[in-house]
Structure 1
C-alpha cells in the first residue's frame, strides 16, 4: 500500500509540476501583452492519513494564483488615446456581437480590462487591440456625466456649429493724462472733434461669418469718457454709431449710505443712443458694468453686450494715469464653424473632441471600476475579465476616488510578468518534475522486487 501510495503521490506531483510549467509558459508567452496579469502557482497538499504514529502519502494539487491586483509597468505610447490605470481598478468595456456603425449590437454581459491600448475605429468607437469597446458616462446638457448608465464611447460630433457673439469683454486703461476734446459745431452733441483712441474686435454673426466692431474713445472732462460703438455691415445701428458716456471716480449709489467709486474706477454709464439691456443702476461696489446693443447682419436681431468689469473696482475698464491707451483684454464669445480635428482624454477621464476653430466639446467621461477581490474575477480571452460572486459587486466610480487609481493618458500598462522570476520558476518546476519521475521509477523497481519474491 505504501509503495502504491508513493507512486500515486509522485504521479500527482508530475501533474502539479506540469501545470506549474504551463503557468510559466503562459506568462513568458504574454510577457509583452498589454494589460496581461501573470498567473503564479499555489501547491496544496492533500493527506490520506496522518497522526502521531502513522503518515501515509497523499497527493499534491497545483492551483492558479492570480495577480490581477499587481501593477504592471506604465510606459508611454505614441497613441494619444492609450490609457493606463496607476493603481487599482479596471476599465469597463463591451463586446460587439454584430452590426456596423450606429447599429452595432453589443453583448449584454459586462466586461472589464486593464488593456488600455485604445484607438478609434472606422465607426468612431474607442476599441482596444483585443476588440473590446471602451465604455463611459455620457455628458448631459448641463455638462455633468450621467452616472446612471454606461455605454460604449463613440465620437460622432464631427462638426461644431457656429455661435453668434453675445458678449464682448474689455479690460483696458483709458489714459487720464490726455487733454479733453470739444464737440464739433453743428454736429450731433455726442460727436467730438479730435481723433479717438480705438480698439477693433472681430465678432461672429448667426452663420459664423466674421464681422468687425470698432470701439472709439474720447475724453470729455476730468472724469468722463465717451464711447462710440460702430458695427460694420449692421443694418440697425445709426450712421454715426452707438454712443454712451462712462464716468469714473464718482458716486455710484445715493444710499443710504452713499457709495463712491475710488478714483479711476467706473461710477456710472449713461447710454446716449441705440443701447439695449438692463438699466445701469448699480447699488454696490462690484456690480457688473456692461453696455448692450443690438445688431442685424441679415439673419435677425443679435443682442451683444460689452462687459467693462465692475462698478467701483479696478477690473475691466479703468482710467488711471498715463498718456497711452492700453488694452489688457479684448475678447468675445462667438465662434465660427468648426470641423473635427482630434480627440484627447484628460486625466479626470473626460473624452474631449477638438475642432479646428479652437473649441472643445466633452462627450463622455471614462470611469474606473473596482472590486472587493479582483483576483477572483473570471478570466476571458483578450485580457478581459467578468464579475463573479467571489469577486464582489462592481463599483463604478470617478478616477482617483473611492480607492481606485489615477488615469495616465498617452500610456499603456505592460504585462506584470518578470522574465527572470519566471525562468527561476521554470528551473524549479523542471527539477521537481524530474525528481518525481525518479520516485515513480524507484517505486516501480521496488514493486518489481516484491513480485519477484514469489519465484
Structure 2
C-alpha cells in the first residue's frame, strides 16, 4: 500500500540526504587542501511500478559525482619547487611502503595527483605535502630524458667536478697603423684538471704590413712559453683575402700545432699544450675563420678585445634547484653551472572523473578511466606546467553552503513524511475501535 511505500521512500530520502551531507562536510573540510577535488552528489530514483493509471513510490539513493577534471584556482607560491598544472594532466607519484638501509621502498602500484606542493626531503626526493614522491624521467649527461624509465626523482647535492679548459675563443682587432716591431698584448684564462684558474698571456708583435707574430705564454705552467705562430692578413697571403681578415697561419714553434687547412671559411684555430703538474693538457685557441671579419682582425689604429671565452669550469658546490616550464629539473652550482637531472612528465586519462580516489589527494587508474598516457608537458592535451604555483581546492564555499541548506531542508521534509505516514497508519489501526 502507498502508506508503507511512502515510509520506505522517505527513509531512503533520509539516507540519501545524510550521504549528501557527508559529501558537503568533506568538501568544506578540504576547501583549503592543495589539489583537492570536490565530491558532488547525484541523486538516483528507483521505481517499483509506474504506469498511466498508477504510480507506486519507490526510493532514492545518493551517488558520489567526482570532479577530478574540474580545475581549482592556480595560486602563486613562495616555494620555488611548487608546481601546478594548467589543463587536464596529473603528476605521476609513488608511495613509500617503508625503508630499507635508510632509503624508502616504493609501492609497485601507480599513483597520480594534482597536489604539486613539492619540496626536497632529507634524502633528496621531491615529496608533496601528502607524502607522495614525484616521479620523472632521468636525464643523461647531455640532459636528454630517458622516456623508458619513470622513477621517483632524487636530487644529488654533491659537488660539480671541475672541467679542464679545452677551448679558448678570442675576438680582437690588431691595429694596422702601428710601427713594425711594436707589440700589443692581452690576457685570457684557463682551468686545469683540478679546477685551478691560470692566466694565459697573448702577445702580438708586428713584423711588417699584414704580418704579425703571436706568442702564447702561461707563466705558472711547467713550460712557461707554449710557442709562437705567425699571423698573416689580407695581401700577405696568396691568394689574397679581404683586407683586414686573417688569411694564413705559419711558422709554428713550441707545442703549437697549425690547423689542417687555411681555405676561406675554415676554422682558424691553433692548439697548444700546457702542463700544470697533472699531465699534458691540450687547448685549442679559436681565432675565428680565414677570410672572414670575425675572431682576429686587423683594422685601424686601435687595439680592442671583442670577446674572450673559455669552456673550463671550476669546482662547484650545490646551490639550489630550478624547474623549467618543459619539466626539466636542473641542479644549480655556485660556479655558475647547472645540470639537468630529470624531466617531469604529465599523465592524461580518457575519463579522469572515473579515477579511484585514495588518501592524500592521490588517485589510481580504473578500467573506466582508461590507460595512463604519459607525455611531455604542453603536449597531447595534458596541459602545461605552472612553476612556483599550486592548484587550490576546487571547492566553492558559497555553493557548498547552499547545498547544505538544501540538504537540511530535504532531510527535514523527509522526516515530516515519516511522521505523517506514521500518524496515518495509526489512524488506520484505530478505525477498528
TM-score range, shorter chain: over 0.9
Tell me which residue corresponds to 2:180.
181
Structure 1 pair 359–271 and aligned structure 2 pair: CA distance change class (3 A): farther
| 1:318 Cα deviation after fit | 2.2
Aligned residue for 2:322, secondary structure, equals strand
| 1:143 Cα deviation after fit | 2.9
After TM superposition, the structure 1 = structure 2 runs for residues 165-204 of structure 1, keeping only pairs within 5 Å, are 165-176=165-176, 178-182=177-181, 194=182, 196-204=183-191
| 1:252 Cα deviation after fit | 7.8
Aligned residue for 1:89, secondary structure, equals coil
After TM superposition, the structure 1 = structure 2 runs for residues 156-305 of structure 1, keeping only pairs within 5 Å, are 156-176=156-176, 178-182=177-181, 194=182, 196-238=183-225, 242-249=227-234, 261-277=241-257, 279-283=259-263, 285-305=264-284
Aligned residue for 1:450, secondary structure, equals helix
Partner Cα distance (1:149, 1:32) in 2? 34
| 1:244 Cα deviation after fit | 1.4
Partner Cα distance (1:320, 1:44) in 2? 88
Tell me which residue corresponds to 1:357.
335
Structure 1, unaligned runs of 5 or more: 183-193, 255-259
Tell me which residue corresponds to 1:74.
74
| 1:394-433 Cα distance to aligned partner (Å, 9 max, x none) | 1111111111111111111111111111111111111111
1:38 aligns with 2:23: no
| 1:54 Cα deviation after fit | 1.5
Aligned residue for 1:408, secondary structure, equals strand
Tell me which residue corresponds to 1:189.
none
Aligned residue for 2:95, secondary structure, equals strand
Q: Tell me the TM-score normalized by structure 2.
A: 0.95
Tell me, yes or no, if the aligned pair for 1:370 and 1:404 is still in contact at 8 Å.
Answer: yes
What is the RMSD of the two structures over their aligned residues, measured on CA atoms? 1.8
After TM superposition, the structure 1 = structure 2 runs for residues 47-446 of structure 1, keeping only pairs within 5 Å, are 47-99=47-99, 103-176=103-176, 178-182=177-181, 194=182, 196-238=183-225, 242-249=227-234, 261-277=241-257, 279-283=259-263, 285-321=264-300, 323-446=301-424
Structure 1 pair 271–360 and aligned structure 2 pair: CA distance change class (3 A): farther
Aligned residue for 2:52, secondary structure, equals coil
Structure 2, unaligned runs of 5 or more: none
| 1:100 Cα deviation after fit | 5.7
Aligned residue for 1:438, secondary structure, equals helix
Q: Tell me the TM-score normalized by structure 1.
A: 0.91
Aligned residue for 2:129, secondary structure, equals coil
Partner Cα distance (1:307, 1:349) in 2? 35
Partner Cα distance (1:252, 1:13) in 2? 100
